[in-house]
Structure 1
Amino acid sequence: MLTDMHIAVIGGDARQLEVIRKLIELDAKLSLIGFDQLDHGFTGATKGQIEELDFASLDAVILPVAGTDSEGKVDTIFSNKKVVLTKEQIEQTPPHFTVYSGISNAYLNEITATCSRNLVKLFERDDVAIYNSIPTVEGTLMMVIQHTDYTIHGSKVMVLGFGRTGMSVARSFQALGAHVRVGARRSEHLARITEMTFTPFHLKDLEQQVQDVDIVINTIPHPIVSANVIAKMPAHTLIIDLASKPGGTDFRYAEKRGVKAFLAPGLPGIVAPKTAGQILANVLTSLLIENKARKENAR
């Protein structure tokens, strides 16, 4: 149970609603910031503004998957009021205070490090990333079906990157009858790609490999699908970029060339917010219970 723990949930999308429900079940004291337009009333949770929040009493803050922007602003789809998390606010918190976010950036890293507070990046955890790859794959399949006039079965699909998401995407498209080739750099990844019966290639050969491809699915959060690469693709190729913003695709050149290209980070929150929220809620509650135990042992 999370009795006596004061947790602020700041901003976010429908996934956060599942997190809130779970925390209420566990008897946490909840402050909801950026939810003033939400019709749903959560018994045991208090809606408010960030200026009213007593940071000195907080044990944790839960941010949306995207965390903050480079100036500390937090996305809030349930409010039209600006919400900003600052270093001055973090400085008021007790030493055991923890910030939980899906991903981070230089701003969030800096304000937590400067204040010597713990920052947990949930999407760097294997369990979250693997569970999250399930709705990501379903959303990718949905987008491919919507934006092509041919079947996945028999099509030539290229997956760039063989991390936790890339592996799930490649396996699912192969199960539907696609001819899947996977690009990676690390020798152990190329060996695993071969063992799993995909067609492997080194990313240095990407320009040659895309010349007959129907669908490209990128999971690498660095510029990889460049103008030179897109220039070698057939005009009908569809690009789905699953990497975090700004993705790894030259979208400007893709549009100029007439190649369909979509940046689609956060698919779980779009296609299956309930499931995606439950994944986050389960992991978060385990971490918060551990945090509470450490706090009590330190007394």
Structure 2
Amino acid sequence: MLTGLQVAVLGGDARQLEIIRKLTELDAKIYLAGFDQLEQSFTGAVKENMEDIPFEQIDAIVLPVAGVQATGEVETIFSNGNLRLSKETFDRTPNHCIIFTGISPPLLTNMAEKTGRKLVRLFDRDDVAIYNSIPTAEGTVLMAIQHTDFTIHGSTVAVIGMGRVGMTVARTFKHLGADVWLGARRSEHLARAIELGLTPFKMNELAAVAEKADIIINTVPSLVVTASAIAKMRPHTLIIDLASKPGGTDFRYAEKRGIKAILALGLPGLVAPKTAGQILANVLAELLKNDATK
């Protein structure tokens, strides 16, 4: 239980609702800012204006997955008002206050460092990434269906990257009957591809694989789907890039060649916000419990 813990949830989207629900169930006291248009209510949670939150008593601040914008503004879809986070906000909190975010833009990192507050980037955690790979894979399937005129079953799919997302995506498309090729640099990843029943290829072989692929799915956050590979693709080939912005595809050349290439950011929050929120809520609750027992 989190009885006695006081948490400020500042802005966010539908995923934040699952976090609020979980923390109130665990008996934490929650202050909500940026939720004035939310009709749903939670026992143990109170809506406040940002300036009325008693930050001097707050044990943790939960920010949206994107953290804050370069201006310090906090994204919220449940309010027409503006929320702005500043170093002064952090200064008002106790020294033990923890800041939770999905990712941490430079401004947020800088504010946490200058005030000595612990900053937890949930999206950097292996457990969150692995859990999130499930709705990401399902969202990728949805995009493949929406943007092609052929079935996944029987198609040739090249997945680039054998990380936490790549493995789940490759396995999902294989279960749907695709002929899945998996590209990686490390020999142990190529061996794992064989163990999973996939066809491995080295990264320098991508151009040759691109000639036969119907769908190419990239998970590597650096330029790997280059012009030389795109030049080999057939007109119907679909590229789905799951890597963080700006992705790992030469989108300019793909457009020039008439190859459809999609940068698919934030799929968990788009296709399964409830599940994505529950993933964050469960991990965050465990972190708060562990911190409370120290």
What TM-score does the superposition give when structure 2 sets the normalisation length? 0.94
Q: Hey, what does 1:131 align to over in structure 2? A: 131
2-structure distance, mates of 1:29, 1:272:
27
CA distance in 1, matches of 2:160, 2:213: 12
**Which deviations, in whole Å up to 9, do the C-alpha atoms of 1:95-119 show, x marking residues without a partner?**
1111111222322222212222111
Task: Supply the distance in 2 between the matched residues of 1:202 and 1:104 (Cα, whole angstroms).
Answer: 32
Structure 1 unaligned blocks of 5 or more = 295-299
Q: Over residues 105-158 of structure 1, what are the superposed CA-to-partner deviations in whole Å (9 max), with x where a residue is unaligned?
A: 322222212222111111222221111111111111111111111111111101
Give the letter for the 1:202 counterpart: K
- 1:40 matched to which residue of 2? 40
Range with bigger deviation, 220-229 or 195-204:
220-229
2:247 corresponds to which letter in structure 1?
G
Q: Which residue of 1 aligns with 2:212?
A: 212
Cα RMSD between the aligned structures?
Answer: 1.7
Closer, same or farther: CA 37–246 of 1 in aligned 2, 3 Å: farther
- Percent identity reads 61
Provide the rounded CA distance (Å) in 2 between the counterparts of 1:129 and 1:46.
31
Distance 1:73 1:254 in 2: 34
Residue 99 (structure 2) aligns with: 99
Deviation at 1:72, TM superposition (A): 2.8
Deviation at 1:278, TM superposition (A): 1.2
1:145 and 1:45, CA in 2 relative to 1: closer, same or farther beyond 3 A? same
Alpha-carbon distance, 1:260 to partner: 1.5
Q: Which residue of 2 aligns with 1:50?
A: 50
Quote the residue 1:163 is aligned against: 163
Q: Distance in 2 between matches of 1:220 and 1:70?
A: 25
Counterpart position of 2:197: 197
Show structure 2 runs of 5+ residues with no match.
Answer: none
1:291 maps to 291
Cα distance in 2 for partners of 1:48, 1:244 equals 33
Once residues 227 and 81 of structure 1 are traced to their aligned partners in structure 2, the CA distance between those partners, rounded to angstroms, is 44
Partner of 2:89: 89
Residues 259 and 59 (structure 1), Cα distance of their counterparts in 2 relative to 1, 3 Å cut: same
Find the aligned partners of 1:255 and 1:36 in 2 and give their Cα distance: 42
Query: How far apart are 1:249 and its partner, in Å?
Result: 2.3
Change (3 A) 1:49 1:112: same
Counterpart Cα distance in 1 of 2:49 and 2:231:
49
Give, in whole Å, the separation in 1 of the partners of 2:152 and 2:206. 21
1:222-261 paired onto structure 2 within 5 Å: 222-261=222-261
Q: How far is 1:285 from its partner?
A: 0.7
- 1:180-208, Cα deviation, whole Å (9 max, x unpaired): 11111222212212222211122233233
Instruction: Say which SS state the counterpart of residue 96 (structure 1) adopts.
Output: coil
The 3 A distance-change label for structure 1 pair 222 and 77 is farther
